[in-house]
Amino acid sequence: MNSEYPSFQLAEFVPPTGLTGRNCGAPLKAGMTFNRLRRTRFFGDIENLQSEDVGETRLIALTLNRIEAYRTTQVELGPGMTALLEVSGDSLDSIREEIARLPDREYLTIECQ
């Protein structure tokens, strides 16, 4: 993951169009479009945690419609913050299914590059 561009590590799907997780990159703003999906596996112990990409990075198209953090709508989500993102786009169904099947220590990240 690269902090120079927006990236959001997914924790869960919240029906009907929500994704929870943590901002791992540049600030997120409503209206932006995520165009890449990356799957990452973490391994090692807490002192020596490492990661590797699993499979190919996929092209997606998800528009960020709304950011909810601290029970309020936010204009922007800064790095390291957690939130619920309301999104739309054809990629949402496949992402929802993939989140449900993720093994332990694997995560999906949506990116905007």
- Extract the tokens encoding 88: 């739309």
Report if residue 20 sits inside a domain: yes
Please report the pLDDT score of residue 49 as a whole number: 82
Residue pLDDT, tens place only, 100-109: 999 999 999 9
Q: Give the rounded distance of the alpha carbon of 9 from its chain centre.
A: 4
Question: How many independent structural domains does the chain possess?
Answer: 1
- Could you tell me the pTM of the whole model? 0.90
**Angle of CA points 67, 96, 89, to nearest 5°:** 60
Range of the domain at 22: 7-111
Report if residue 27 sits inside a domain: yes
| Cα–Cα distance, 66 to 74 (Å, whole number) | 8
Report if residue 71 sits inside a domain: yes
Report if residue 61 sits inside a domain: yes
Report if residue 62 sits inside a domain: yes
Please report the pLDDT score of residue 2 as a whole number: 55
Q: For residue 103, give the CATH number of its domain.
A: 2.40.30.10
Report if residue 75 sits inside a domain: yes
How many residues are present in the chain? 113
Average pLDDT rounded to a whole number, residues 81-97: 96
Report if residue 1 sits inside a domain: no
Q: How confident is the model at residue 41 (pLDDT cuts 50, 70, 90)?
A: very high
Question: Which residue do the tokens 């945690």 mark?
Answer: 49
Q: How confident is the model at residue 73 (pLDDT cuts 50, 70, 90)?
A: very high
Report if residue 68 sits inside a domain: yes
Average pLDDT rounded to a whole number, residues 89-93: 94
